[in-house]
A and B are shown apart, each in its own frame.
Chain A
Amino acid sequence: MKTFQRLYKLLNSHQALKITLYIYIMHNLLFLLTLLSALTRPVIRTEEPIPVYKTGDNKVWAAKDYDDKDWSQTRGNTLDRIFWSRTHFELRPVENELKPLGLQIQSFGAFEVYWDGVLIGHNGQLPQHGKPEMPGTESSYYRVPDHLISPGFHTVALRSSQSFFPEVQRSVDFKMDSYTVLLTKPLVTMSYMNLMAGAFLIAAVYYFFLYLNSRRRPWDTLIFASICFLFFVLLIMEYLKFHVVIPYTDFFVRLEIIGWLTFANALLVPLYFIIQFNCKQGKWLMGALLITLVLLYIVHYGAYDLTARLYSLAMLIAAFIVVLNGIIQKEKGGFIALAALVISALVNKSVVYDFGLFISFTVIVLSMLYLHSIRASVIETEHQNAVLLSSRLQLELLKKNIQPHFLRNTLTSMMDWVEESPKEGSRFIQALATEFDIMNEISEQTLIPITKELELCRQHISIMGFRKEINYIWEEVGIDEEQLIPPAIIHTLLENGITHSEPLPGNTVKFVLSYFLKEKTHEYTFETLAENRKVMTKRTGGNGFKYIRARLTESYGQNWTFDSVATENGWISTIHILRQ
């Protein structure tokens, strides 16, 4: 008791220990369960009991010792008539814990079940008195009376009809176990599968909301949500038979639905990987995959389990191609996805289809979830960088007017103007104040009306005129006043033009800003007509161009070009912005 208390205290204080212990216990429990189910010896000794059939109706045929040597091993097409089947098998001596025993029959049709001639139950209703058959369900359970389960041979006779799908030859399978185990085992399995299904449903809903609320409407998120949802439906459909009584007439409907769900997922999973790993041949691969899947459907029509297996095989192959391509392209998360696919393939190969498919799918979906989180974090980083860049550009814009070279030179000139001709001086001060105002106004924006930018340029020219005493001429051609432009990019070109130009004879430097609406782009050209100064030292500059490029990227992504070259007459810079 003391030890227990101590252990309890220890566990309470160590969350991690608790979790580890939990995992340990769960792991062992699962191991134990698998071991137990493997060790249980079947109650029916006969390996594959073979039923024999006879069309017609005679209660005598229910008897244990009736001679059915002349009965047929095939049923034939019984139409809506009543037929009997008899199956003999041997029971082993049964431990008391297993009692009462139950019998599970998997078969089509409606039937009454006779155990050694004793009626122990029925599945659906046979046609009688002109009333048509009420179809039974594919899998039914019966309790076998204790006094009838002596070790040795027994006979199960079914008085059946199969009015629907009379031509479908579906064998009759028997399984015996403790009655309670027979009834509860599917429920236990189902509870685990529902747990998984619930997780996928939550993921589906979450990613679907994520998709709806994202301004970018990212395709991969929608696809991922769909995969999760389809997988949820697949799980529900697979185990639907345990909580809904499905008449055998609808048996294939469920299988058909499962088939199509697998089909859809077999398409969507590789598609998701194609998007995640930027696979360039994605379209071709998807086309090939679609054709393969359709062919599989046609060729193996009706063989539901086989088709589903082949679907998932096709999916795995396609996904492998994409992921390997991703690894070659050095995409993030490639190896994780590869590992998931390998595990998935192994599971698919070694575990029975029912579970195998779901486990392998789960592994893949988990790896996709991981990829998604990687991608989300990449997007987050990109976003942060963009925000950072924007604030850096904002700062750079504000710095333009307070950096010492501009400000101190301007102030020195201003001092001189004020001392020498106060009237001009105050005009100079006015121009500087206006430039400051505009800068202040635009500094927090990423796009401003072109008219603002032009005003800024004109003020700047007026200031520089006072400073350099050069006759700067400003010209605008074809400006569309409705257009927006990132702040201070023309201004930056103007600054460069002023810095690197010597005036032409007549002490003039001319700047021409032209706008052209091209077929695909907005084009701005900024021309400086002057003598280019010779470059003497290594320029620490280039910052101006960096600023322009960063501003264009900030507002237009990749949809712009910027060129700046010397010409015979001076310098020309061209900006193309793709039309939206």
Chain B
Amino acid sequence: MNILIIEDEARIARRLERMTIEFFASKPVTISICDSLQKGLDQIRNQLPDLLLLDLNLNGDNGFEILEQMVAASFHTIIVSANTDKAITAFAYGVLDFVPKPFDQERFFKALTRFVSPALKVEEDIKYLAVKKAGQVRLINITELIYIKGAGIYTELHLTNGRSELHDKSLELLHQLLPDQFERIHKSYLVNFSQVEKVLVNTGTRYSVLLKTGEVLPVGRSKYKELKNKMI
């Protein structure tokens, strides 16, 4: 497990480190601390972390410009910041949690628990998914999403305008970030429920959904019942 802390306050960075070690107790974790955004970015280039703990306001640099890049990456980001008024914006960008400073162990553990339990959904609304394309980061409004398909280590975002984009995050991580209307209907599909026209039952107890766009997506056997209940 690789965890990166970007925090310019040495004492706070050490506090995060200590608490993280305590949280993971028996599990082996590697923690790196960077005291500037530049060093953090270099570190990410060297080795992708599994989790990023990020302070938004570092040495006068505005962390929000970096945040877009971070949330587009494969790993989850937890913001630890004094700028509590930025929490809603941070969630809109798709962070896993926002830990306001000052924080105690309980609050920080809650954020880490969210990280280790993908089933725990983010309570605040995400508004955008950040997508990296040709070195640029583009924000996609989640209302434009029809469904997301898992494709190896990537995911494909299928959009209302008929195009699709690749995202670095796994289907599990995106499912955790996206609101309830996004349903996991198959091990490879996450669908925007409002885009579903009806559930189809095919021969041989195979199920699928017909989307408003006319596309048909497979439904996992275990997911069918859940889906059926939701439809009614």
Residues of A at the B interface (CB closer than 8 Å) are 404-405, 407-409, 411-417, 466-470, 499-500, 502, 533-541
Contact = CB atoms under 8 A, between A and B. Distances in A.
Contacts of A541: 60
Interface in B89-110: 100-104
Contacts of A414: 102
A502 B35 CA distance: 9
B61 A536 contact: yes
Q: Is the interface of B mostly helix, strand, loop or mixed?
A: mixed
A413 B83 CA distance: 16
B133 interface: no
Contacts of B101: 408-409, 411-412
Given A467-B9, A470-B10, A534-B38, A500 B59 contact: yes
Contact of A412 (B15, B38, B57, B83): B15
Nearest to A539: B60
Contacts of A408: 82, 84, 100-102
A466 B37 contact: no
Interface centre among B10, B61, B104 (most CB of A within 10 A): B61
Given A408-B100, A533-B36, A539-B60, A468 B82 contact: no
B62 interface: yes
B215 interface: no
Contact of A499 (B59, B82, B103): B59
B62 A409 contact: no
Interface in B150-177: none
Interface in B102-120: 102-104
B61 A537 contact: yes
Contact of B10 (A404, A411, A467, A536): A467
Interface in B1-52: 8-12, 14-15, 35-38
8 contacts: A408-B100, A409-B9, A409-B101, A415-B102, A499-B60, A535-B61, A537-B65, A538-B62
Contact of B37 (A413, A500, A537): A537
Contacts of B8: 468
B66 interface: yes
B84 A416 contact: no
Interface residues of B, number: 27
A461 B104 CA distance: 25
A411 B15 CA distance: 13
Q: Is the interface of A mostly helix, strand, loop or mixed?
A: helix
Contacts of B11: 412-413, 416-417, 466-469
Given A499-B59, A535-B61, A536-B65, 13 more contacts: A404-B83, A404-B84, A404-B85, A409-B82, A412-B101, A413-B9, A413-B12, A416-B11, A467-B10, A468-B8, A468-B10, A470-B10, A537-B37
B9 A404 contact: no
A405 B83 contact: yes
B103 A412 contact: yes
A218 B102 CA distance: 56
A565 B36 CA distance: 22
A412 B53 CA distance: 15
Contacts of A409: 9, 12, 82, 101
Contact of A533 (B57, B59, B82): B59
A539 B64 CA distance: 12
B37 A416 contact: no
A537 B37 CA distance: 9
Nearest to B41: A536
Contact of A536 (B12, B37, B104): B37
Nearest to A542: B60
A409 B81 CA distance: 8
B102 A411 contact: yes
B12 A416 contact: yes
Interface centre among B14, B60, B61 (most CB of A within 10 A): B60
B131 to A, nearest CB: 21
Interface string B63-82: 00110000000000000001
Given A404-B82, A405-B83, A499-B59, A468 B102 contact: no
A412 B7 CA distance: 12
B57 to A, nearest CB: 5
A382 B164 CA distance: 60
Contact of B102 (A412, A466, A539, A540): A412
Nearest to A464: B9
Interface centre among A412, A413, A468, A500 (most CB of B within 10 A): A412
Contacts of A411: 101-102
A294 to B, nearest CB: 66
Given A412-B101, A416-B11, A468-B9, A540 B62 contact: yes
Interface centre among B9, B11, B15, B101 (most CB of A within 10 A): B11
Contacts of A535: 61
A425 to B, nearest CB: 11
Nearest to B81: A408
Contacts of A537: 37, 61-62, 65-66
B12 to A, nearest CB: 5
A416 B15 contact: yes
B86 to A, nearest CB: 10
A534 B37 CA distance: 10
A85 B9 CA distance: 112
The 9 closest A-B pairs by CB, nearest first: A408-B82, A412-B102, A469-B10, A408-B101, A411-B102, A413-B11, A416-B15, A412-B101, A537-B65
Contacts of B100: 408
